[in-house]
A and B are shown apart, each in its own frame.
Chain A
Amino acid sequence: MFKEEFYFRSSEESTDYSYGYNPYQRPLDMYIKNGVINLDKPRGPSSHQVTSWVREILEIKKIGHAGTLDI
């Protein structure tokens, strides 16, 4: 579905691995803080409540969700 084609402007450019990370290889703390969860929301609690539980479980400060399932 997301197999993409590209136009190249410069084909010889490379990247320096002494800074930055492949997204899947970020140190754990950074991985979590730049992370998303594909959550299967259970029946009953609100989207807001479920999101807040994830925040408590992972012991992080800030969290959000993309699109309520409540209305």
Chain B
Amino acid sequence: MTGILPILLENARKIVNLLLTSSKEYICIMRLHKKVDEDKLMEIIKEFRGQIYQIPPRKSAIKRRLRVRTIYQLNVLEIDMPFVLMHIECEAGVYIRKLCYDIGEALGCGANMYKLRRIRSGVFKEDETMVTLHDVRDAYEIYKETGDESMLRKVIQPMEYALQEFHKVFIKDSAVSAICHGAQLATSGIVKVSKGIKQGNPVIIYTLKGEAVAIGEALMSSEDMIKKRRAICVKTIRVLMDKNLYPKMWKRTH
């Protein structure tokens, strides 16, 4: 299996749980155990679009019980019996190996995953940010030999890059330190918020410089965050920023 594997360095590991919920895209070659009629194959494949039930494979780390997952797209790109080239876009937590097995069972002939390449994981896709192990090594070697940081800064993206797809709440400088110390966010600290936030959504709290401060959970909609005069609007779930970066500006109460 090849393809997109987002790597999280040091402090950026704190966003892993959030990234694990991102949708994924794959190119897959499925091998059928017998040649089947192409029309029948297409009919069966249709049934695997939308909501499907999957039991996680034995090798997986999670509990093996039936789960509902969504396949947003499942397209056959090419058939060269017994091989079927497919493009799949799905919710997090879909096992493609299992999907191929289940398609084989439904067809009655059996099937297995022959090859797999992940072409997208959340915002990470096959674009100019994608690098190989060699690129990483070259960039670091050049930095060590010449002090030139530019290659290394191209190979590595700030963690904020990975958080783009989530709703944003921008806060005042004066509110940053308190959030870094674990406080919840009050509406008075807000500068601007993404449209479309609903209560319970994950949100990223940002400084006005675009630095991620914390992962939070919205306690109200975007509209209420703007309208309400005094209320706690985001619960801080995970602090991402070093608490000493911004000065303490909250009022002391004696």
Q: Which residues of A contact B (CB under 8 A)?
A: 2, 4-10, 13-17, 19-24, 26, 28, 31-43, 47, 50-51, 53-54, 57-67, 69-71
Contact = CB atoms under 8 A, between A and B. Distances in A.
Contacts of B132: 39-40, 42
Interface stretch (B31-39, B66-74, B75-83, B115-123): B115-123
Contacts of A4: 168, 194-195
A34 B11 CA distance: 5
Given A21-B211, A37-B156, A16 B173 contact: yes
Contacts of A59: 140
A26 B2 contact: no
A65 B246 contact: no
Contacts of B60: 71
Interface of B: 1-13, 16, 19-20, 22, 24, 57, 59-60, 92, 95, 97, 116, 118, 121-127, 129-133, 136-137, 140, 143, 149, 152-153, 155-162, 164-165, 168, 170, 172-173, 176, 187, 190-195, 207-212, 222-223, 225-226, 240, 245-247
Contacts of A14: 208
B128 to A, nearest CB: 9
Contacts of B20: 66-67
A36 B24 CA distance: 17
A10 B190 contact: yes
B6 A34 contact: no
B209 A22 contact: yes
Given A28-B149, A50-B133, A7 B222 contact: yes
Contact of B156 (A13, A21, A36): A36
Nearest to B6: A66
17 contacts: A5-B194, A9-B193, A10-B172, A13-B208, A33-B11, A34-B10, A34-B11, A37-B131, A38-B127, A51-B5, A60-B10, A62-B9, A64-B7, A65-B6, A67-B5, A67-B24, A69-B118
Contact of B159 (A20, A28, A34): A34
B6 A37 contact: yes
A26 B13 CA distance: 18
A46 to B, nearest CB: 9
A57 B137 contact: yes
Contacts of B13: 62-64
